[in-house]
Amino acid sequence: MAESKRKRVIREKVEAGKAYDINEALGLVKEFATAKFPESIDISVNLGVDPRKSDQVVRGSTVLPNGTGKSVRVAVFAQGDNAEKAKAAGADIVGFEDLAETVKKGELNFDVVIATPDAMRVVGQLGQILGPRGLMPNPKVGTVTADVENAVQNAKAGQVRYRTDKAGIIHCPIGRADFEVPALMENLHSLLADLHKAKPASAKGQYVKKLTVSSTMGPGIAVDRASVDA
């Protein structure tokens, strides 16, 4: 079977328990990304935080310099001048209460939601719909803002959002399998730089504990932290 052959090749090329130089790890991940669609290249970062403590939840966003390789549809809740600015910046859908009614009908033809502060009285009613899908605007990741123009441009340019899970791990895309390794590296360094800026003051000891890269359908490959200066 093709799948068993693929797994055998992976076993032969990836040494169990070994942490690879980041360039080699990314090369292997790209090599194993053989699906018929462009697989996402993702990074998992184990952070030295206690996610049970509210002041140690790491959350934020990063604009990847080389984007994610995906076309992003952006919806903006705004009115008046801000609505016009959002449209001019390239937002795919712009509205206010009318957009809220569309969302309530289950029409969610977008990947990112941005809202002006005054629109949150409308958006707040959509929490049960947007929240579970990771679409609820939040000022901590720049999606509740008066500067809708910049927010739309960032979202379109390849902004990614992250938040530690219950195990204190960040999961984030850094590109696609058809990206060259240097482009993936540049995206990764931007993400890590922002993660370091977001380090909680109360977090003690080693901050970046472990790095693992993978593709959508491929195995996770451990990365030697020293090779990325993490």
Confidence of residue 11 (pLDDT cuts 50, 70, 90): low
pTM: 0.81
Q: For 74-113, b where at least 16 C-beta lie within 10 A, e where not — what string?
A: bbbbbbeebbebbbebebbbbbbeebbeebeeeeeebbbb
Q: Is the pLDDT of residue 9 over 80?
A: no
Q: What domains can be seen in the chain, in order of their start residue?
A: 17-68+159-228 (3.30.190.20), 74-157 (3.40.50.790)
Helix-then-strand count for the chain, H and E: 8, 9
Q: Is the pLDDT of residue 151 over 90?
A: yes
In angstroms, the CA 7 to CA 121 distance is: 51
| Mean local confidence (pLDDT), 179-204 | 94
Tell me: the pLDDT tens digits for 52-72?
998 999 998 899 999 999 889
Tell me: the pLDDT tens digits for 22-34?
999 999 999 888 8
**222: part of which helix (H) or strand (E)?**
strand 221-223
User: In this structure, are residues 171 and 162 in contact, taking their beta carbons and an 8 Å threshold?
Assistant: yes
Tokens encoding 77: 């809740």
Structure-model confidence comparison of residues 140 and 171, the more confident one: 171
- C-alpha torsion sign, points 96, 102, 108, 110: negative
Tokens encoding 157: 């340019």
Q: Report the candidate in 80, 138, 84 with the shortest Cα–Cα distance to residue 114.
A: 138
| Mean local confidence (pLDDT), 135-144 | 92
Mean model confidence pLDDT for the chain: 91
What percentage of the chain exceeds 70 in pLDDT?
93
What does the chain come to in residues? 230
CB-based contacts of 33, cutoff 8 Å, min separation 6: 39, 41, 177, 215, 216, 217, 218
| Mean local confidence (pLDDT), 65-88 | 95
Confidence of residue 230 (pLDDT cuts 50, 70, 90): low
In angstroms, the CA 60 to CA 91 distance is: 21
